[in-house]
Structure 1
Amino acid sequence: MKIDPKSKADLSAQIAKSIRDAIIEGQMNVDDRLPSEAELADQFDVSRPTVREALKRLAAQNLIRTQRGATGGAFVRRLSYQDAYANHITTSTLLLSMNAVDFETACEARYALERACAPLSAERRTPDHLATMRAEIHRQAQPGLSDESFCDSDVAFHRALVDGAGNPVLSYQLAGAVEAMQPLMNMITFTARNREVIVGLHTCIADAIEAGTAQAADQALAELTAYTLKLGDQAMAERAAKSG
């Protein structure tokens, strides 16, 4: 593990990247103990506070864990999909907001990914996944439900559909698509949407998933895509008219 002291890049960032690369390349395995702060400081020829900052960076990325006591220190952490979800969702949300991704692009990406999950969900979903979808449909049909609660329920419904595919890699990839893009879509379209239409489409999706008919689930998702895009166009048109 090496760094370039002549580089303009922050030394702690360089150290963190060097250790991260060693972990990714398999030079360090899960539960391996990292050298002590003093040993790392000697190895990289930096101060201990610089090493400490590098370790904080690695901990923030869930790559290491720290343990106190005589047998303590910093250890390579086994990163789970659950650990990675939150960071993935945050990153996706920031990318959407900072890069001004337009509604149509976000909608296209999100539903294309979700439709890829539908056949697997129709085949593999568990009773719990289906029960969650049904519970959220029931919740969405309640007349006194607030817009915020409806949006939360909408996300939970689609999260269950994705998780029903039984593929943790897909669930991780779609965490950003569903839980970052869906709130964006809801924020833009909530004033124009018809809840009965959405509940009806969600019911068609759940029925198809329960029956194991992937084609019907895909068709209902295609209709939901078209409806969402239509709402987006209406919302943008109304904004343009008001600003004009």
Structure 2
Amino acid sequence: MEPHTRRAARGATAKLIGQKVLRPREQVEEKIRAAILSGELRSGERLPSEAELARQFDVSRTTVREALRSLVSQKLIDKTPGVGGGSFVRSVDHQSLGNLLQESLHNLLQLGNLRVEEVAMLRQYLEVPAARLAAQHRSDEDLAGLQDIVERQKTISVDDPDVPDLDARFHAAIAKASGNRLLASFVHALHRETEPVHYLDLSPEVGRTTVRQHQKIVKAIAASDPDSAEKAVNEHLVYLREHVLSL
């Protein structure tokens, strides 16, 4: 066997023992991140002080401060100033996930990497099955919440400042009633970021049509009729998208 052939053979079978060497700041960051994601540090729990962390990791306070700053940017911890403040593990439940997704979508839309139409179409792909699941799994509390929102929508004018929030709450409540928390997080993020009513010409007629469609959706969910719920929410979302595109 030629020398270069032997070298290639040895390289092909070389045992992998190498691992990326982290700088002190990265090591501190990785250890704390692992403790959060494993549940060792619980949601809302206060981390030790910077001085104590520096002692435990045997690094400078500057190194700890840089690691904590990175974890804040990753939305894993919050830093609260003043007496009683400090670094706290951020809630990582499904609602927080929705907020994180919304922030990411916002950045992508602002940078022009995504079009609003793409997000609106994805909403439809998620909200139609969400309505079907809501008809199958909704609780009495879920139904009461949806009915309260629609009753409020019936009593306000299209220029009321509460219109966007009520619309977002309505769609989020349907996703929540589906029983799938991850689905609810995605719907929350998609709806809050696109805020469809801001793109509509909210004439009184459009407002009345939207509320009627909401009532139809709630009626199907109340009857535990998944086929009707799917059809009703699909008609509603198609109406909204076509109305936006017509403008």
TM, length-normalised to structure 1: 0.74
Of 53, 60, 76 in structure 2, the residue corresponding to residue 36 of structure 1 is 53
Which consecutive unaligned segments of at least 5 residues does structure 1 have? 6-10, 68-72, 236-244
How far apart are 1:2 and its partner, in Å? 7.2
Match of 2:7 in 1: none
Match of 1:122 in 2: 135
1:2, 1:15 within 8 Å by CA — same for their partners in 2?
A: no
Matches within 5 A, 1:20-169: 22-23=34-35, 26=38, 29-31=40-42, 36-42=53-59, 47-59=60-72, 61=74, 63-64=76-77, 79-99=92-112, 101-144=114-157, 146-169=159-182
Which consecutive unaligned segments of at least 5 residues does structure 2 have? 1-18, 81-85
Of 209, 218, 226 in structure 2, the residue corresponding to residue 197 of structure 1 is 209
Alignment CA distance shift 1:81-1:60 (3 Å): farther
Counterpart Cα distance in 2 of 1:138 and 1:210: 15
Alignment CA distance shift 1:109-1:231 (3 Å): same
1:204, 1:220 within 8 Å by CA — same for their partners in 2?
A: yes
Q: Percent identity?
A: 24
2:33, 2:76 within 8 Å by CA — same for their partners in 1?
A: no
Match of 2:233 in 1: 221
Aligned residue type for 2:95: Q
How far apart are 1:150 and its partner, in Å? 1.3
Provide the secondary structure at the position in 2 that maps to 1:85: helix
How far apart are 1:137 and its partner, in Å? 1.5
Q: What's the C-alpha RMSD, in Å, of the aligned pairs?
A: 3.4
| Between 152-161 and 129-138, the greater mean CA deviation after superposition | 129-138
Counterpart Cα distance in 1 of 2:79 and 2:187: 30
Counterpart Cα distance in 1 of 2:192 and 2:223: 26
Rg (Cα) greater in structure: 2
